[in-house]
Amino acid sequence: MTLKALRLLDREQAILEFQRRVLAQAMREDVPLLERLRYLCIVSSNLDEFFEVRFSDLLDALRDKSGDIKHEDVERVGAAAHELIDSQYAIYNDQLMPALQQRGILIRNHAERNETQRRWVARFFEREVRPLLVPVSLDPAHPFPQVANKALHFIVKLSGKDALGRDSPIAIVKVPRVLPRVIRLPQHVAPGEQCFVLLSSVIRAHLTELFPGREVVSFSQFRVTRDSDLEFDEDLVGNLRHAVRSSLTTRHFGRAVRLEVVRSCPEELYQLLLRQFDLPDAALYRVNGPVNLVRLNELIDQTQAPDLRFEPHEPVWPQGRLPRQKPMFDRLAKADVLLHHPFESFEPVIKFLRQAVDDPEVLAIKQTIYRTGTESVLMDLLVEAARRGKEVLAVVELKARFDEEANVNWAERLEAAGAQVVYGIVGLKTHGKMLLVTRREGSGAKRRLRRYLHLSTGNYNPRTARFYTDIGLLTADPALTADADAVFGLLASTSHMRRMHKLVLAPFAMHARWCGYLEQVRKAAAAGHSARVVVKINALTDVELIEALVACGQAGAQIDLIVRGACRLAPGVPGLSDNIRVRSIVGRFLEHTRVMYFRWGENEREEALYLSSADWMSRNMRGRIELAWPITEPKLRQRVIDEAIQPYLHDGKDAWRQDARGHYARVDPEGQSAQQALVERYRAE
């Protein structure tokens, strides 16, 4: 069978399949109850982003007639999203809420609240909520108000006349985002229980008070999801930071792509909303529960029930390889250090930068900034380094989706402190993660400059480093540090770069490097030699890499792909992908590590092991600055294989196996969890 017979799986369907795997976590009885609810919230958050980005891109492609997108494609994806959201609310109502109620954790609606609780809620509404509500009755002088992306509103139908004796039957009430969505009732009105009320229920119970002299006939919560991609032509803007800052003000009011209402919403109200937002019937989602389940994270945070959460996990400091008390530069001058998060602490990375800031012999610090968060000790340290007069170069990616505002703010703070801030290369996102320190060492004739480097598969974000799996490398390797310095030079000046010694850089060489290794594997397999590929990534959608993998498998190579999210390669197709297996790991931690292993013979010179910041997607290979680096030191190489590959190939508990149609099934619910095994392994050290 030829490669022409290869049928790529649909990318949007693959993304939704991943959300189904996450949603399945909410049904696992071996997962603590509040964590099951958290998975439900994660799915809602992920679906918001799916509509804001992926689904809106589909609609754009359909409208612009770009690509092969047809109406039936959009309808198919929409139907799959409807099915997934219906399943989500069924789990919420039929499984999680009854289970929480059995544990004395309740969400009380108005009908379920007793008289004492209703009086408390009424006082809360009058004191905390009503002063912030401004109902808008629709008439020629009061047009439909601006409705921001994902902001909660009520639509209300009224009877009677307004203060001037006119008919204005429809009103809109915006729910301020500053108000908590989940309110815990005090013990004196809910003794012996952990009792909560939703803000939407509080407002619903007191809607009539917002319209004195009129009767509320019907009403519904609603929420609109909008296209949230920032759109501007980088080639035409004079200052990228100003363009991003300006675009952020309009992001919340992009084209509407989804309308959510409660299931009880009358048809005349949701039809009015569909017309207002120029949406088809298929864009309507009538949900059986709270609009926006994401905000139930507030209930999880307020609930006092340690036994309903995962056992606390504290990442360990690698004391044996990196003694806390010794200067890090002395240690790194002798050997590289590998850090495996979240099993090992992210603190050594912070300490590395802090010692660089405090060390008078450190002259320059260069760092890429992608997702650091609104509060970041690392960014504070960079600011301090600039204030102390060190040469600081920060490559800030302003277009890191949904982190743009935080990154603009950090860029401005760094510039104000005296750092040199650049925004990479026009048209390319800077997604590679590296932190380079240049230090003056020695004395007299032996005085010289030496560089130290941190590379990572994940972001410089201490918070997410506690629940994302990633691998970082601290090194003083002259070849790697020289390569990193050259990459910073490229990002700062777009000058021509010399040939890399060890680093592999996208979009210049990475795609060709992976294709080259796969071709070596294919030739070895065709010649009857040992041939093996293991790739652990977050997404596999690049067509050429998929074709190269299939060619390897057809030649006889054994291929295991550990793909957390979307995978367009259909494994197990007779005569085409028989030798390819695809699995996905969905567990307590978010799998984020990218590892590539290739073998095309029997000895060590015929294999390669790489870590990378890049997934195997066209956007990563061609539209981003990405990094990959080899792991060749025997002990470190074995650690990567033993910790980031082998456990995941044998995981049963958190593993899902993909079939040729793109559907997934749990491997072995009674089996072992790779993540839990690694947690226990590091605790024992």
Query: Any idea where the domains of the chain sit in the sequence?
Result: 3-308, 328-499, 506-684
* Sequence-ordered list of residues with C-beta below 8 angstroms from that of 9, at least 6 positions apart, any chain: 567, 568, 569, 570, 661, 662
Look at residue 23 in the predicted model and tell me its pLDDT. 98
Distance CA 78, CA 83 (A): 9
Strand partners, 535: 561, 596
Residue type, 140: P
- Domain 3-308 identical in fold to domain 328-499: no
Whether the bond between 131 and the residue before it is cis, its omega within 30 degrees of 0, is no
| Residues β-bridged to residue 664 | 658
Q: How many CB atoms lie within 10 A of CB 480?
A: 23
* Region of 77 on the Ramachandran plot (φ > 0 left; ψ -120 to 50 alpha; else beta): alpha
Answer for the pair 51, 314: CB distance below 8 angstroms, yes or no. Answer: no
Token duo for residue 210: 């917002």
**Cβ(481)–Cβ(345) under 8 Å?**
no
| CA distances for 399 relative to 59, 156, 405, 411, angstroms | 22, 38, 9, 12
Give the annotated binding-site residues for ATP: 46, 468, 564, 592
Q: How far is CA 428 from the centre of its chain?
A: 20
For the record, the structure tokens of 325 come out as 């008390």
What is the model's pLDDT at position 164? 62
**Nearest one of 609, 631, 621 to 533, comparing CA atoms:** 609
The whole-number pLDDT of residue 405 equals 84
- Could you give the CA distance from residue 108 to residue 100 in angstroms, rounded to a whole number? 12
HSE, side-chain direction, 13 A CA sphere, residue 180: 16
| Those residues with Cβ within 8 angstroms of residue 348's Cβ, 6 or more apart along the chain or in another chain | 317, 318, 322, 328, 337, 339, 474
Q: What is the dihedral of CA 641, 644, 645, 647, to 10 degrees?
A: 110
Binding residues: 46, 371, 401, 468, 564, 592
3-state DSSP percent of the chain in helix, strand and coil, to 5: 40, 25, 35
Alpha carbons 382 and 354: distance in angstroms, whole number: 9
The structure's pTM equals 0.94
- Name the amino acid, one letter, at 278: D
C-alpha to C-alpha distances, 56 to 48, 73, 78, 231, 260, nearest whole angstrom: 11, 13, 11, 13, 16
Question: Angle at CA 31, nearest 5°, toward 27 and 36?
Answer: 55
User: Rounded to an integer, what distance in angstroms lies between the CA atom of residue 211 and that of residue 150?
Assistant: 25
Report the catalytic residues: 431
CB 99 within 8 A of CB 91: no
Report the C-alpha gap between 32 and 17 in whole angstroms. 23
**284-287/256-262 β-pairing:** parallel
List, in sequence order, the alpha helices (H) in 294-418.
Answer: 297-302, 328-332, 347-358, 377-387, 404-417
3-state secondary structure at position 7 = coil
Query: H or E segment at 486?
Result: helix 478-493
For domain 328-499, the CATH superfamily is Endonuclease Chain A (3.30.870.10)
- Residues 6 or more apart whose CB falls under 8 angstroms from that of 653 comprise 587, 668, 669, 670, 671, 672, 673, 676
Smallest CA-to-CA distance from 349 within 475, 483, 468 is with: 475
Burial class of residue 427, CB neighbours in 10 A (0-12, 13-18, 19+): exposed
Count the Cβ atoms, other than its own, within 10 Å of residue 595: 22
Q: What is the pLDDT of residue 567?
A: 97
The pair phi, psi for residue 20, each rounded to 5°, is -65, -35
Mean pLDDT, 10 residues at a time, the chain of 685 residues:
71 95 97 98 96 88 76 90 97 97 95 96 97 88 88 94 73 95 96 95 96 92 89 57 68 90 97 95 95 96 96 92 90 96 97 97 96 90 96 88 82 93 87 97 87 97 96 98 96 83 97 98 96 98 97 97 97 94 98 98 90 97 97 97 97 96 94 96 85
Q: Count of alpha carbons within 13 Å of 278, Cβ hemisphere only?
A: 4
Give the pLDDT of residue 232.
54
Residues marked as binding for Mg(2+)? 371, 401
Q: Is the dihedral of CA 676, 681, 684, 685 positive or negative?
A: negative
Cβ(460)–Cβ(376) below 8 Å: yes
The DSSP output letter for 309 is S
Query: Among 3.30.420.40, 3.40.50.2300, 3.30.1840.10, 3.30.70.60, what is the CATH number of 3-308?
Result: 3.30.1840.10
The whole-number pLDDT of residue 484 equals 97
Tokens representing 155? Answer: 């639509």
Residue partners of 438: CB distance under 8 A and separation at least 6: 362, 363, 364, 365, 449, 450, 451, 485
Q: Are 125 and 206 in contact (CB under 8 A)?
A: yes
Q: Please give the C-alpha separations between residue 57 and each of 54, 226, 617, in angstroms, as whole numbers.
A: 5, 11, 16
Rounded Cα gap, residues 614 and 610, in angstroms: 11
Q: What dotted CATH number matches 506-684?
A: 3.30.870.10
